[in-house]
Chain A
Amino acid sequence: MRIELQKRPAVSPLFSMLSPLLALALTLIFGAIMFALLGKDPVAAMHAFFIEPLLETWSLHELAIKAAPLILMGVGLAVCYRSNNWNIGAEGQFTIGAITGSYTPIVFYDWHSPLVLPLMLVMGALGGALFGAIPALLKAHFNTNEILTSLMLVYIAQLFLDWLIRGAWRDPKGFNFPVSRDFAPEAILPAIWEESGRAHWAFVFALIAAVLCWFMMRYTLKGFEITVLGQSERAGRFAGFSSKRMVWFGFLFSGALAGLAGICEVSGSINHLQPAISPGYGFTAIIVAFLGRLNPLGIVASGLVLGLTYLGGEAAQLSIGVSDKVTRVFQGLLLFFVLSCDTLIYYKVRVTWARLRGGAA
């Protein structure tokens, strides 16, 4: 068997729409096969995984909580990736954003003012952006591979948080346990609709960020600059755009959103700082960005889908007794299928059965 690709003269609008859906369908089919192999009823398993979490109000709130940081970070990363800069250290920027954002409520804990919360959010975004500036600086001025530096910085950020919480920022009344002071009520991101569940404003921020980014990419010169430079540095240079400046923009922008996600998570969901604040949101956000086809509005949808895999993994654990590792497998499969199906957008795929010269695979 042989697979041949033929570049389409233009991007196929039909497959742009269909490809994520096709990927989702393939993931579901493979998932069902996997459950069957595990000796579970595939229909019940899929129901527990993808439907059950959507049936209750409280659970929808949880979905919003889970999706918010994924969307916020995914949108930032999408812009960064579109410009052909590979920030895979959003997890670290998330962590640093959580730290800088928490500076006010932890260090000035007896300052009570309605200004506390806005200040926290701004400082969180700034912190994330500054941490994102490190790989940007290294790439722009020292030509250092940003994939590796941004990733190494994740470990450094996490260890720094650990040191802080076990040392200077430890709750003096906390029996030396590694948690910071609890945030005062003014420092807590309020719930959107408290009567029905926990979801807080981070989800709204995520939606706003997505819409603004969509607008930027589509209607502004900046968006054009990002796209042009991302597709070809040379073409960008002819248009008078600086790829160096774009490195900075991509990293500062995605870093700021990751930092904002970090402080929102800490302020809205955890209410204090602790050594473990993220179950790998920064890495999952990369999948979210790609699943959303690097389109800010698509990312809203993909963030919700990925959020659902977390909730579903838990529900399936309880109701049908499958291992929690299924979640990771699902996420990996989904990304694989999305990437494969995207081929259909740019290429015509022809499968021929005859063996030709120079055959691959």
Chain B
Amino acid sequence: MKKFAFALAASAAAVIGFSSAAAAADKTKVCYVYVGSHTDGGYSQAHDLGRQQVQKEFADKVETSYLENVPEGPDAERAIERLARSGCSLIFSTSFGFMDATVKVAAKFPKVKFEHGTGYKTGPNLGTYNSRFYEGRYILGQIAAKTSKNHGAAYIASFPIPEVVMGINSFEQGARSIDPSFKLKVIWVNTWFDPGKEADAAKAMVDQGVDVITQHTDTTAPMQVAEARGIHAFGQASDMIAAGPHAQLTAIVDTWGNYYSKRVKALLDGTWKAEQTWDGLKEGVLTMAAYTNMPDDVKKMAEETEAKIKSGELHPFTGPINKQDGTPWLKAGEKADDATLLGMNFYVEGVDDKLPK
């Protein structure tokens, strides 16, 4: 029992830092809804780090709180409504699956401001925000092409939604810019968060001789497999260097903090408007983890590409690009527009997989 009590106390320590609702009522309340746990080491934790940044930056004016592990569906609507009723002025619902729930609650509470992450439905008091993850994945593709000894990599993918397909294509574009014969294998695990499945998929890929893996799922399991099997991998959502000190080349790190504080500042200044924001490397909502475990020339190339994307000189989807079956998609010099990217449902040339329909 003592041991159990100790463990309980340890987990209690983890929730300290939560700002109590009983705190001063004159502070502005900013609230968050997470699909996972705030310590999931991936997607939701990245958002929570952003929340903590807001809390720190506006400590005397703002009070933050969150609801975690909120299932997508009717529960989300209730959770968001509860936040709206509990006096939150601005609510960030951080997962795509919260879209309709956010729309419904936003219509019901016109005075409360809402922002929905990674969705596309908006309203007078409902904005959206997203990150151009694909910019980072282009750099990963280039590094993979330089690192792989057998001209290929494996992509552990969650679900065939546009976001993921876009990432796969961007990775392949980056790789082909270095090595036109680069082949990208895709393996669908149909989960965002299942270490066992992700590890199995990573192992299966390594067993087939793949020497670079990248993931669009959230646990560190694939990174651990890469480390154990002595190959290279890229981190996702957060810096996974602790799981793969010899394996991680770099990671795309979600850094929502700057965006969140920008929006909270607008709220406090009274200039908040419902907007559709799609920021990227330049605005700092995603950052690249340190380039490690690679020769200096590869590192230099990666840094240059990163700088070019930031300055706007390079767009990962710049023609000529063919679709997977060889039919032309973009003419030379033509850049993909955001609407096409957000609804992407086809592969570019070089992806070695049949897109699940």
Binding site for B on A (CB under 8 A): 34, 37-40, 56, 58, 62, 65, 159, 162, 166-167, 175-179, 182, 198, 265, 269-272, 274, 276-279, 310-311, 314-315, 317-324
Asked whether A318 and B21 contact (CB < 8 A) given A176-B343, A279-B75, the answer is yes
A318 with B100: CB separation less than 8 A = no
What are the residues of chain A within 8 A of B160 when measuring CB–CB?
166, 176
Q: How far is the CA of A176 from the CA of B37 in the complex (A)?
A: 27
Given contacts A167-B357, A175-B343, contact A324 B74 (CB under 8 A): no
Give bound CA distance, A320 to B86, whole Å.
Answer: 13
Q: Give the top 9 A-B pairs by smallest Cβ distance, nearest first.
A: A269-B74, A321-B18, A279-B71, A175-B343, A38-B12, A176-B345, A37-B8, A324-B69, A176-B162
CB neighbors of A among B35-87 (8 A):
37, 65, 67-69, 71-75, 77-79, 81-83, 85-86
Cα A65 to Cα B68 in complex, Å, equals 20
Contact residues on B (Cβ < 8 Å of other chain), bracket: 35 or more
Provide the bound-state CA to CA distance between A38 and B165, in Å. Answer: 44
Nearest B-chain residue to A40, judged by Cβ: B12
25 A-B contact pairs sorted by A residue (CB < 8 Å): A37-B8, A37-B9, A62-B78, A166-B356, A175-B162, A175-B343, A176-B165, A178-B161, A179-B100, A182-B100, A265-B74, A269-B77, A272-B100, A276-B73, A277-B73, A278-B73, A311-B78, A314-B79, A318-B67, A318-B82, A320-B20, A321-B18, A324-B67, A324-B68, A324-B69
Indicate if the CB atoms of B69 and A176 lie closer than 8 Å. Answer: no
The chain B residues found within 8 Å of chain A, CB to CB, are 5, 8-9, 11-12, 14-15, 18, 20-22, 37, 65, 67-69, 71-75, 77-79, 81-83, 85-86, 96-97, 100, 120, 159-162, 165, 190, 342-345, 356-357
When chains A and B are docked, how far (Å) is the Cα of A324 from the Cα of B65?
Answer: 14
Among the interface residues A62, A175, A265, which one has the most CB atoms of the partner chain B within 10 A?
A: A175
Taking CB atoms, residues of chain B closer than 8 Å to A65 are: 74, 78
From A56, A175, A278, A324, contact of B342 by CB (8 A): A175
CB distance from A272 to the nearest CB of B (A): 7
B344 touches A176 (CB 8 A): yes
Chain A residues lying within 8 Å of B165, measured Cβ to Cβ, are 176
Instruction: Find A166's partner among B65, B78, B82, B159 (CB 8 Å cutoff).
Output: B159
- A162→B190 contact, CB < 8 A: yes
Provided the pairs A176-B162, A176-B345, A314-B67 are in contact, do residues A159 and B82 lie with their beta carbons within 8 angstroms? no
Contacts A175-B120, A274-B73, A322-B15 given; 9 further ones with Cβ under 8 A?
A37-B9, A62-B81, A65-B74, A167-B356, A176-B343, A279-B75, A314-B82, A318-B21, A324-B69
Task: List the B side residues contacting A278 at CB < 8 Å.
Answer: 73
In the complex, what residue of chain A is closest to B71 when comparing beta carbons?
Answer: A279
Chain A contact residues: helix, strand, loop or mixed: loop
**Taking A177-B161, A178-B161, A318-B67 as contacts, is the C-beta distance between A270 and B8 under 8 angstroms?**
no
Given the known interface contacts A314-B79, A321-B18, A322-B15, the answer about A58 and B356 at a Cβ–Cβ threshold of 8 Å is: no
Residues on the B chain within 8 Å of A310, using CB? 75
Residue on A nearest B74 in the bound complex, by CB:
A269
Q: How far is B346's CA from A176's CA once the two chains are assembled, in angstroms?
A: 11
User: How far is it, in angstroms, between the C-alpha of A315 and the C-alpha of B86 when the chains are bound?
Assistant: 10
> Which residues on the B side are within 8 Å of A319 (C-beta)?
20-22
Q: How far is the CA of A289 from the CA of B8 in the complex (A)?
A: 30
* B190, A279: Cβ atoms closer than 8 Å: no
A317 to B71, CA, bound (A): 15
Chain A residue nearest to B190 in the complex (CB): A162
Q: Is the CB of A270 within 8 A of B190?
A: no
Say whether B96 contacts A177, CB under 8 Å. yes
Complex Cα distance, B96 from A277, in Å, reads 15
Say yes or no: B67 contacts A58, CB within 8 Å: no
Nearest B residue to A162 via CB reads B190
Task: Return chain B residues, CB-CB under 8 Å to A274.
Answer: 72-73, 97
A324 to B345, CA, bound (A): 36
CA separation between A37 and B5, bound complex, in Å?
A: 7
Measured between beta carbons, the chain B residues less than 8 angstroms from A62 are: 78, 81
* Chain A nearest Cβ from B125, distance in angstroms: 19
Give Cα A40–Cα B86 distance, bound, in whole angstroms: 21
**Chain A minimum-CB-distance residue to B85:** A58
Closest chain B residue, CB of each to CB of A323: B15
Of A39, A56, A167, most B-chain CB atoms within 10 Å: A39
With the chains together, A271 CA to B343 CA distance in Å?
Answer: 22
**Which residues of B sit under 8 angstroms from A198, Cβ to Cβ?**
77
* A176 CA / B343 CA spacing, docked (Å): 6
Query: Once the chains are docked, how many angstroms separate the CA of A265 from the CA of B357?
Result: 27
Chain B: CB-nearest residue to A315: B82
- Which residue in A38, A40, A317 is a CB contact (below 8 Å) of B67? A317
Give CA–CA (A65, B81) in the complex, Å.
14
Q: Cβ of B72: which chain A residues have Cβ within 8 Å of it?
A: 274, 276
Chain B nearest Cβ from A331, distance in angstroms? 14
